[in-house]
Chain A
Amino acid sequence: MNDAVRHSPGLWALAWRRLRADRVAMVALAIVALYLVSLLLSATGVIARHWDAEVGVSYAPPSFLGAETAAQRDAPRIKVPPAPPAENPRDPLGPLLKRLRAERAAGQGGIDYYGIQDPLAGDITKLRAKLRAEPDAGVAKKRATLPFGADKWGHDIVQKTIKGSETSIVVGLTAAFLATLLGTLFGAISGYYGGWVDDCFNWFYSVFTSVPYLLLILAVAAVLHQKGVLTIVLILGLTGWTGVYRLIRAEYLKHKQREYVLAADAIGASHASRMFRHIFPNVSHVALVQLSILTVAFIKSEVILSFLGFGVPVGVASWGSMLNEAQNELILGKWWQLVAATTAMAVLVTAFSVFTDALRDALDPKLK
């Protein structure tokens, strides 16, 4: 074997060289890598471990806005409706109300304890006395502002976004991995064996594609009932394999006729060995591109599912659950959680899509 042959660059080396030349793709890759590093750090508990500590006051504004002034905080947001007229001459309950008012004015009435002694009365009086003596005891000092504000419970939005990104990206990646695995496996078997096996898988494929994707997800969500990260990964992974299947099957149909596969057959390679040791490395770039396309799609789906309450359970931060809270906060004028979740997601998804496009172009220059 001469040197020239040994050193001829393979598909991956060539693709990497093309990718390196694309400056936009490299920036996108750096951003994606940054998210992955943050994911690793938060998953191992180095950062954002205490995201659910209530460090700020409720809805603490971002530091760059400054703390809410007392006047702003106390200003009534809802106009107090004018008090109802004291006595309505047509009110059928008029006499009753009059009697109750008279009782109240006389100092009787109110809550009737029916002669039952409050068992906690002694403790409460003691606690009240203690609280009067030292008003700040037992209450942690809460900050009036946080770098990017706080949510309803006073969680730091920056840490919450980091934790939410972890959940969303992990769900997206795992589900995409599962879907790609299933699609590749089905596509390989179907394309390689052909015949009735192929017919069976094709039937399976047309059944899954004739039900709209979102409806299928919702139907599975309705049936599974329990919430959790694993459930949502399963829902997305088990329903999303169809696109991968179609492409991988077409590749296997093409490759099984090639000479190197016939040669592998001649030296006695088994079916499994031909499918996965010989053919798969030659079609793996298709699977890789599909994996990254699916990751983006599943991150978006996870956000919608969690928003609707079919996704991650209560108490787990994800971009979807953050948007769910942000919807009500916006009416109160608390925009920071919405902006944080949206920006974090938009930056990642844009970078990931740009990188996916570049990856596809680099791996398959013909397609451009």
Chain B
Amino acid sequence: MTAYIVRRLWQMLPTLLGVVLLVFVLFNWVGGDPAYILAGKMSNPQQIANIRAQLGIDQPYYVQLWIFLKQIASFNFGASWSTGETVSHVLATRLGPSLTVLVPLTVMETVIAIGLALAVAYVRGSLTDRMVMIACTVGMSISILVYIIVFQYWLAYKMGLFPVQGWGDHFFDNLFRYSALPILIGLVVSIAPDLRLFRTFFLDEINQDYVRTARSKGLSEPRILWVHVLRNAAIPIVTYVMSNLPSLLIGEFLIERFFSIPGIGREVILAVERSDFPVIKAITVYVAAATMIFNLLADLLYQAIDPRVQLK
């Protein structure tokens, strides 16, 4: 087990190096000279030269790459170009609000989608099944923007059920007052695609021999579905949920932007708008690393779910 984990971590290095190279090429080579962005509209050659020396971009590319690698290894990406805050502080303070929305959303989304998908898979081929699938397709074709705009307008602004936007200082206040509508919208948007996907996972299992055996020995339908089918269909579900988690951190950015939640996603948008390269670079590298770690965690979870899985 330990040997497996160590080997998997070792195999991540080339990929992570690739991500670093990709980010480096994008921002240090394609991105042009950041000194002009930093110096602003009123600048003279002296200032530009100063800034270039300060950032180290007057050095040859291999030295710049070395600086970038050292920054990653020491978790020190310097200061944000627009606010002067250190990047590590930016990330540390923005992670909490993101997770406050993300964790309840993911848990509720997965549980609800599994329940609905089992129900729909149970009545597969019926009119209900087809109507639900059509509703999912139509629901998925409407842009997430429209859901956010309409829900925020009707539920928060017109009917006053939720605060229109905002964020507080207390965890419970944030969770129950400010996160409620964002989580609701997240659920509405994500359940349709999840339901469609999970339904196909369950349909693959529901015609298997073991289901017939379980039925013939007199097990109740709920027990067959929730215990036997669910456990067998769990592997693709776990893969899907786990590999989605890090990208959800970014994927939430629209919700965070509309509801002024000071999270990672909103920070990315702000950084892109302000050409704040250190923040984008740091977030990209960390999120890529998180994606790889979560894929490894998913593989480790497989063994807990299915003892037949051998980790090699």
Contact B31 A215, beta carbon cutoff 8 Å: no
Which chain B positions have C-beta within 8 A of A309? 273
Cα of A323 to Cα of B142 in the assembled complex, Å: 12
Instruction: State the main secondary structure of chain A at its contact with B.
Output: helix
In the complex, identify which listed stretch (A5-13, A204-212, A240-248) lies at the interface while the others stay far away.
Answer: A204-212
Tell me the chain B residues, 279-294 only, with Cβ under 8 Å from chain A: 280, 283-284, 287-288, 291-292
Whether, in the assembled complex, A345 has its beta carbon less than 8 Å from a beta carbon of chain B, the answer is yes
Partner of A330, one of B31, B142, B149, B272: B149
Contact A303 B145, beta carbon cutoff 8 Å: yes
Which chain B positions have C-beta within 8 A of A222? 31, 271-272, 275, 277, 280
Residue of chain A at shortest CB distance from B272: A222
Interface size class of B (residues with CB under 8 A): 35 or more
Mask, B248-279, CB within 8 Å of A = 1, is 01110110010000000000110111010100
Mask, A212-230, CB within 8 Å of B = 1, is 1111101111111100000
Which chain A positions have C-beta within 8 A of B149? 323, 326-327, 330, 338
Whether, in the assembled complex, B40 has its beta carbon less than 8 Å from a beta carbon of chain A, the answer is no
Which chain A positions have C-beta within 8 A of B26? 219-220, 223
Cα of A213 to Cα of B142 in the assembled complex, Å: 20
Pull 22 A–B residue pairs with CB atoms less than 8 Å apart, ordered by A. A207-B18, A207-B19, A210-B16, A211-B287, A211-B291, A214-B250, A218-B268, A218-B269, A219-B284, A222-B280, A223-B30, A225-B32, A303-B143, A319-B143, A323-B145, A327-B145, A327-B149, A338-B146, A346-B141, A349-B140, A350-B137, A354-B137
Cα of A16 to Cα of B31 in the assembled complex, Å: 47
Whether, in the assembled complex, B226 has its beta carbon less than 8 Å from a beta carbon of chain A, the answer is no
Whether, in the assembled complex, A307 has its beta carbon less than 8 Å from a beta carbon of chain B, the answer is yes
Contact B288 A304, beta carbon cutoff 8 Å: no
Whether, in the assembled complex, B246 has its beta carbon less than 8 Å from a beta carbon of chain A, the answer is yes
Contact A218 B287, beta carbon cutoff 8 Å: no
Which chain A positions have C-beta within 8 A of B271? 222
Which chain B positions have C-beta within 8 A of A224? 30
If A215-B283, A219-B23 touch, whether A331 touches B153 (CB-CB below 8 Å) is yes
Partner of B272, one of A213, A310, A323: A310
Whether, in the assembled complex, B27 has its beta carbon less than 8 Å from a beta carbon of chain A, the answer is yes
Mask, B226-253, CB within 8 Å of A = 1, is 0000000000000000000011011101
Partner of B15, one of A207, A319, A350: A207
Whether, in the assembled complex, B144 has its beta carbon less than 8 Å from a beta carbon of chain A, the answer is yes
Contact B31 A308, beta carbon cutoff 8 Å: no
Residue of chain B at shortest CB distance from A218: B272
Contact A211 B288, beta carbon cutoff 8 Å: yes
Cα of A162 to Cα of B150 in the assembled complex, Å: 23
Chain B proximity of A329: nearest CB distance (Å): 10
Chain B proximity of A342: nearest CB distance (Å): 5
Interface size class of A (residues with CB under 8 A): 35 or more
Chain A proximity of B257: nearest CB distance (Å): 8
Contact B141 A349, beta carbon cutoff 8 Å: yes
Chain B proximity of A340: nearest CB distance (Å): 12
Q: A225-B275, A342-B146, A345-B143 are in contact. List 20 more A-B contacts (CB 8 A).
A: A206-B15, A211-B287, A214-B250, A214-B253, A219-B23, A219-B272, A219-B280, A223-B27, A223-B31, A225-B32, A307-B145, A323-B143, A326-B149, A327-B149, A330-B149, A330-B150, A348-B141, A350-B141, A353-B137, A354-B137
Which chain A positions have C-beta within 8 A of B269? 218, 308
Whether, in the assembled complex, B22 has its beta carbon less than 8 Å from a beta carbon of chain A, the answer is yes
Contact B287 A215, beta carbon cutoff 8 Å: yes
Whether, in the assembled complex, A203 has its beta carbon less than 8 Å from a beta carbon of chain B, the answer is yes
7 nearest A-B residue pairs (beta carbon): A212-B247, A207-B18, A349-B141, A223-B31, A222-B272, A350-B141, A210-B288
Whether, in the assembled complex, A300 has its beta carbon less than 8 Å from a beta carbon of chain B, the answer is yes
Most buried by A among B15, B269, B273, B287: B15
Cα of A207 to Cα of B138 in the assembled complex, Å: 33
Contact A304 B284, beta carbon cutoff 8 Å: no
Partner of A212, one of B15, B23, B153, B246: B246
Residue of chain B at shortest CB distance from A307: B145
Contact A207 B143, beta carbon cutoff 8 Å: no
Residue of chain A at shortest CB distance from B23: A219
Partner of A304, one of B144, B273, B280: B144
Cα of A308 to Cα of B271 in the assembled complex, Å: 13
Cα of A213 to Cα of B31 in the assembled complex, Å: 19
Cα of A347 to Cα of B288 in the assembled complex, Å: 35
Chain B proximity of A51: nearest CB distance (Å): 21
Whether, in the assembled complex, B157 has its beta carbon less than 8 Å from a beta carbon of chain A, the answer is yes
Tell me the chain B residues, 119-166 only, with Cβ under 8 Å from chain A: 137-138, 140-146, 149-150, 153, 157
Cα of A308 to Cα of B269 in the assembled complex, Å: 8
Contact A206 B18, beta carbon cutoff 8 Å: yes
Which chain A positions have C-beta within 8 A of B45? none
